Amino acid sequence: MASGFQRTKIKPMFDVFDVDGNGCLEEGDFEALAARWGRLPRVTADPELAARVREVIMGWWQHLSVAAHRGEQVGMDELMTVVDRLPSMPEAVMATADTIFDAVDENGDGLISRAEHQRLIDTWHGRRMATGDVFDRLDQDGDGYLGRAEFALLWTQFWISDDPSEPGNVMCGPLTPVA
């Protein structure tokens, strides 16, 4: 069962996924999320990447709708049920990390810069987000970039870790307490 810490870091993502703000996740929310990611410059320029982005985002809707048992609406508890299952789904988590990496690596250099990471956060949230020292916490080697392997580890930590000290917990933005 997901911990309170995991719920705290995932709740803002639930709110981001709930594009229409009705308190539950529906297929239309994921359609809107896929469309938002589809507007990134590298995604619009690469039809194959656009298809991957859409496939990954809509694939997560499928996982969630199955977990909900009612199919059309997913609550926070069902999202946390899927989060509990993520350790047994490493291929799906890594495929998502790879796709998101490619989508935000705007110049295709195989590295995520501070600005590209900011774009990731802003795209998830659908608006400009203040991130403070988030990138510095993620960039453990201090080289100013996140390579693909670093990114994948941090992505996995965000979605799976229950250890508050792991840097990946801020991958999608600063943590804020859930009211």
Q: What is the pLDDT of residues 10-67, one digit of tens each?
A: 998 899 899 889 999 999 999 999 999 999 999 999 999 999 999 999 999 998 888 7
62 three-class SS: helix
Distance spanning both ends of the chain, measured CA to CA: 20
Residue 111 pairs in a beta bridge with 147
Q: Which residues, other chains included, contact 39 with Cβ-Cβ below 8 Å and sequence gap of 6+?
A: none
Q: What is the pLDDT of residues 70-82, one digit of tens each?
A: 668 889 988 998 8
Of all helices (H) and strands (E), which one includes residue 179?
A: none
C-alpha dist (Å) from residue 124 to 16, 47, 69? 7, 20, 26
Whether the pLDDT of residue 179 is over 50: the answer is no
Q: Which residues, other chains included, contact 95 with Cβ-Cβ below 8 Å and sequence gap of 6+?
A: 56
Tell me, rounded to whole angstroms, the distance of Cα 20 from its chain centroid: 18
